Amino acid sequence: MLDSRSRINYPLYWFSMKHIAVLTSGGDAPGMNAAIRAIVRSAAHNEIKVSGVFNGYQGLIEDNFADLNTRSVSNIIQLGGTILRSARSEEFYQPAARARAATALKNRAVDGLLIIGGDGSFRGASQLSIEHEIPVIGIPATIDNDIFGTDLSIGFDTAINVALDFVDRLRDTAASHDRLFLVELMGRDSGNLALHVGLGGGAEAILLPEQNLQGEQAAELVMQAKQPGKSSSIVIVAEGAYEGGAIALQDSIRQRCEFEVRSSILGHVIRGGSPSTQDRVFASRLGYEAVMQLKAGKGSLMIGIDKGETVLVPFEMTCSNVKDIDWHLHHIAQITSQ
């Protein structure tokens, strides 16, 4: 069932959908393979041919395609990363490169394209769709969960659980040595990941890009986290919350206090590993829905989830709006950290 956004006048393409292509773009996210699997098998059920595009938009420009069938996607639902590989393509920003990509699709008689990626990938998808009248549908996949128009994105659940396991383990060491640990997580522009890990891990403080903290404010907030009587203190720092990240913040704090401060940086490790049950189910659901929408003639939109229901969001909407963090969760984290 779709909400009111489904009643927007989406572009419709009145031709039979016999051949579709799929690619993964931007940073990899656990669950991408589950989405690919669902796409291929849903298409096969509807007698639609599927081609995989390797290396994202760059592969589209370079005509790097391979046919996929139901056996091609056997035993991939549990795998992290993406079997199609991913890449960021600066070249795709140029109209001439998008024209080459469109030519590659048309020469192979591809009727529609599915993009698994984030908001940057959807901007490219939107331009390709508009300029060359190709039906394109996006499937949100990013561990940052920062895409406007959907409550969840593929990879987010796995990433927060991997990070949370790390924080739980670090808490044992922090308590044993009476230390304050700064844990830096990905999130240059969005604090969604840090907020959920911080609340779930019982962090004494969470620093987010959305707070716009100045240097002194950030250091003071961290020092307040080292409360008397607590045997350990964990502070979650999104990478974009403080210039220079956790290491620079650690140095700033050491100049102001005597207690021991250590930093741990969780980088790309939280992108990897087997996807969680939720990410596998969610990715399968979106993959199926994306095929059905292409078959129905829809394009220039993203498939998302809102309050448990599948929604269709125009690329122009998801690309021109910024998804805010849940400030109510932030308030709860502040109250329960005391």
For position 81, which CATH number holds?
3.40.50.450
Domain of 238, CATH number, reads 3.40.50.460
Same domain, 70 and 55: yes
Same domain, 265 and 241: yes
Same domain, 34 and 59: yes
Same domain, 147 and 34: yes
Structural domains counted in the chain: 2
Residue matched to tokens 């963090």:
325
Bigger pLDDT: 319 vs 228: 319
pLDDT (0 to 100) of residue 12: 63
Q: Using a pLDDT cut of 70, give the percent of the chain over it.
A: 93
Same domain, 141 and 288: yes
Could you list the residue range(s) of the whole structural domain that residue 160 is in?
Answer: 156-271
Q: Is residue 333 part of a domain?
A: no
pLDDT (0 to 100) of residue 221: 79
pLDDT (0 to 100) of residue 90: 86
Question: What pTM was estimated for this model as a whole?
Answer: 0.92
Same domain, 249 and 211: yes
Same domain, 110 and 223: no
Q: Is a pLDDT exceeding 90 seen at residue 258?
A: no
Enumerate residues 6+ apart whose C-beta is below 8 A from 165. none
50: its two tokens: 């599927």
Same domain, 69 and 142: yes
Same domain, 23 and 137: yes
Strand partners, 20: 50, 112
Catalytic, out of 28, 111, 144, 279: 144
Q: Is residue 287 part of a domain?
A: yes
Mean pLDDT highest for which of 99-113, 165-179, 244-258?
Answer: 99-113
Q: Is a pLDDT exceeding 90 seen at residue 260?
A: no
Q: Is residue 252 part of a domain?
A: yes
Q: Is residue 208 part of a domain?
A: yes
Q: Is residue 330 part of a domain?
A: no
pLDDT (0 to 100) of residue 338: 76
Active site residue 28: no
Q: Is residue 335 part of a domain?
A: no
pLDDT (0 to 100) of residue 241: 92
Q: Is residue 64 part of a domain?
A: yes
Same domain, 164 and 266: yes
Same domain, 85 and 108: yes
Question: Which of the four pLDDT bands, split at 50, 70 and 90, describes residue 15?
Answer: low
Question: Which of the four pLDDT bands, split at 50, 70 and 90, describes residue 284?
Answer: very high
Q: Is residue 326 part of a domain?
A: no
Same domain, 19 and 126: yes
